[in-house]
Amino acid sequence: MIIALAACRGDETLTGYGAADRDWHLDTARLTLRFGTGGKVSGHGPCNSFTATQTAPYPWFDLGGFEATEHSCPGRATETALFARLATMTLAEVADDTLILSDDDGNRMVFSTAP
């Protein structure tokens, strides 16, 4: 029964499970994510914007093809650390207006749709 419902959903990434077409703001720093169709992910850090592709089935999380602009600003070191941390996330959970990304060591990045 669950398999049949998942097959009807079509998109098995975060996009198909409530994350689509919403701006997700990291609660602890200036980082936003937006999940589009076909696994496309875009976002902004303190200095730069980025794009990537999320193809792992929910609840797994894996960003591939990560590309960012390369502007310099005072927050660049923080941004580099945020992008690196984002790349280590392996699991996702969407619950209403909250998105939680976590890694295998239990580290978490909590996002919300509220600005």
Q: pLDDT tens across 83-98, in order?
A: 999 999 999 999 989 9
Dihedral sign (CA 2, 8, 12, 18): negative
Backbone dihedral angles phi then psi of residue 61, each to the nearest 5 degrees: -135, 125
Place of tokens 């660049």: 76
Decide if 23 contacts 43 (C-beta within 8 A): no
Over range 48-54, report the average pLDDT. 95
Residue-level pLDDT at 10: 67
- With bands split at pLDDT 50, 70 and 90, how would you rate the model's confidence at 6? very low
How many whole angstroms separate alpha carbon 107 and alpha carbon 87?
A: 12
Decide if 88 contacts 71 (C-beta within 8 A): no
Backbone dihedral angles phi then psi of residue 25, each to the nearest 5 degrees: -110, 125
Looking at CATH, the fold of the domain delimited by 2-112 is given as Lipocalin (2.40.128)
- With bands split at pLDDT 50, 70 and 90, how would you rate the model's confidence at 109? very high
Window from 7-16, 18-27, 42-51, 61-70 with minimum mean pLDDT: 7-16
Proportion of the chain above pLDDT 90, given as a percent: 73
pLDDT at 8 over 80: no
